[in-house]
């Protein structure tokens, strides 16, 4: 016999679940100061680049689900898909085949960003999707003036409409990622809890230093996010301990667990909050959003 379904209202949208929704997912879980919309007439979005040259560490999963979680916290958020694979867009329900314009047109053809923004199922979460055309953008950008600043200039027109803009980067350190870092205020580095992922950490941190020195003096490290953590695995625990010992508070308190439901959600075109809000993956990204907002409130 099928179990009855409960319905919970979360920041203006409905989520159906087979179990009781945990308290941290309700709007009241965020204090009034954290839930107050960040944007005002004079404010500009905080732009966070989510980058790591290694694939499979959870960049797109983090971009999608952090964006959804910030939206739940009543922060209007824009997700920008800078990866030619287009998984960030499809992960929030955007069908690639029906797109007329996307981030490629903004970068290469100077299309207005407002014209390529798409709505998602979550009222405060918008997305600028990608397409296969973006694969050729690396070569096309080479001959363009101020090629590293194309994204920054395009975002200027809409930055005042959002509290957060999240840039999902490809698994490389080419011109697309360079554009994202040049446009961003900070870089969030997802790090899978395994040895090889840790080996590549120095490379991405060195790239951030070079961009800060030559293109974007204000660029900071938002934090290192440990992903795919399995507490039963000795290696996961060792990597976590070593990263925390070496990088201290630069490492987020929040750890994203290895979670089957989190892996399934993209195939349904939904963030984990809409697919299974009771999962450990959903809890992890809600906690990450809380931590980022708390940091911003603390820092003024």
Neighbour tally for 234: CB within 10 Å: 9
pLDDT at 97: 64
Q: What is the pLDDT of residues 221-254, one digit of tens each?
A: 999 999 999 878 888 888 889 899 999 999 999 9
Closest CA to 44 of 164, 154, 149: 164
Q: What is the pLDDT of residues 14-42, one digit of tens each?
A: 333 333 333 334 444 444 444 444 444 44
User: Crossing angle of helices 59-72/280-299, nearest 10°?
Assistant: 70
Can you tell me the mean pLDDT for 146-157?
Answer: 94
- For 188, the enclosing helix (H) or strand (E) is strand 186-192
pLDDT at 19: 37
Tokens encoding 219: 């660029």
pLDDT at 138: 86
Please state, for a pLDDT cut of 70, what percent of the chain lies above it.
85
Strand partners, 110: none
How much is the mean pLDDT over the chain? 85
- Please determine, for residue 280, whether its predicted confidence score (pLDDT) is greater than 50: yes
pLDDT at 18: 35
What is the C-alpha to C-alpha distance for residues 11 and 76, in angstroms, rounded to an integer?
A: 11
pLDDT at 43: 73
| Confidence label for 300 from pLDDT (cuts 50, 70 and 90) | low
| Confidence label for 100 from pLDDT (cuts 50, 70 and 90) | confident
Can you tell me whether residue 193 is helix, strand or coil?
coil
Q: What is the pLDDT of residues 159-179, one digit of tens each?
A: 999 999 999 999 988 999 999
Q: What is the pLDDT of residues 178-224, one digit of tens each?
A: 999 999 999 999 999 887 777 778 889 999 999 999 999 999 999 99
In DSSP notation, 1-60 reads -PPP-EEEEETTEEEEESSPPPGGGSGGGS-HHHHS----TT--PEEEEE--SSSSSSHH
- For 225, the enclosing helix (H) or strand (E) is strand 220-229
C-alpha distance from residue 62 to each of 21, 84, 114 (Å): 22, 17, 24
| Confidence label for 133 from pLDDT (cuts 50, 70 and 90) | confident
Tokens encoding 66: 């952090």
Can you tell me the mean pLDDT for 151-156?
Answer: 95
Query: Which residues, 6+ apart, have CB-to-CB distance to 270 below 8 Å?
Result: 91, 92, 93, 121
Tokens encoding 13: 């949208």
Alpha helices in 161-264 (DSSP H): 175-183, 195-199, 201-214, 234-247, 260-264
pLDDT at 28: 42
- Please determine, for residue 277, whether its predicted confidence score (pLDDT) is greater than 50: yes
What is the C-alpha to C-alpha distance for residues 300 and 296, in angstroms, rounded to an integer?
A: 6
């Amino acid at each position: 016999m099928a179990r009855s379904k409960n319905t919970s209202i979360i920041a203006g949208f409905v989520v159906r679940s087979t179990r009781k929704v945990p308290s941290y997912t309700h709007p009241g879980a965020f204090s009034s100061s954290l839930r107050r919309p960040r944007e005002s007439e004079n404010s500009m979005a905080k732009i966070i680049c989510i980058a790591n040259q290694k694939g499979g560490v959870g960049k797109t999963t983090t971009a999608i689900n952090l964006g959804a979680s910030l939206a739940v916290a009543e922060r209007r958020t824009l997700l920008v898909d800078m990866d030619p694979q287009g998984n960030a867009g499809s992960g929030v329900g955007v069908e690639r085949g029906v797109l007329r314009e996307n981030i490629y047109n903004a970068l290469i053809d100077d299309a207005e960003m407002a014209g390529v923004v798409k709505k998602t199922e979550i009222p405060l979460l918008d997305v600028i999707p990608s397409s296969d055309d973006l694969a050729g953008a690396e070569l096309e950008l080479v001959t363009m003036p101020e090629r590293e600043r194309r994204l920054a200039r395009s975002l200027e027109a809409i930055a005042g409409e959002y509290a957060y803009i999240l840039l999902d980067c490809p698994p490389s350190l080419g011109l697309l990622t360079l554009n994202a870092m040049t446009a961003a205020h900070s870089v969030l580095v997802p790090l899978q809890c395994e040895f090889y992922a840790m080996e590549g950490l120095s490379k991405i941190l060195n790239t951030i230093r070079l961009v800060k020195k030559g293109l974007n003096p204000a660029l900071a490290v938002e934090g290192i996010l440990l992903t795919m953590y399995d507490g039963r695995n000795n290696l996961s625990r060792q990597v976590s301990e070593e990263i925390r010992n070496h990088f201290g508070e630069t490492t987020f308190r929040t750890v994203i667990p290895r979670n089957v439901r989190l892996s399934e959600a993209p195939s349904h075109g939904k963030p984990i909050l809409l697919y299974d809000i009771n999962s450990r993956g959903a809890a992890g990204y809600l906690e990450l959003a809380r931590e980022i907002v708390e940091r911003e409130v603390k820092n003024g």
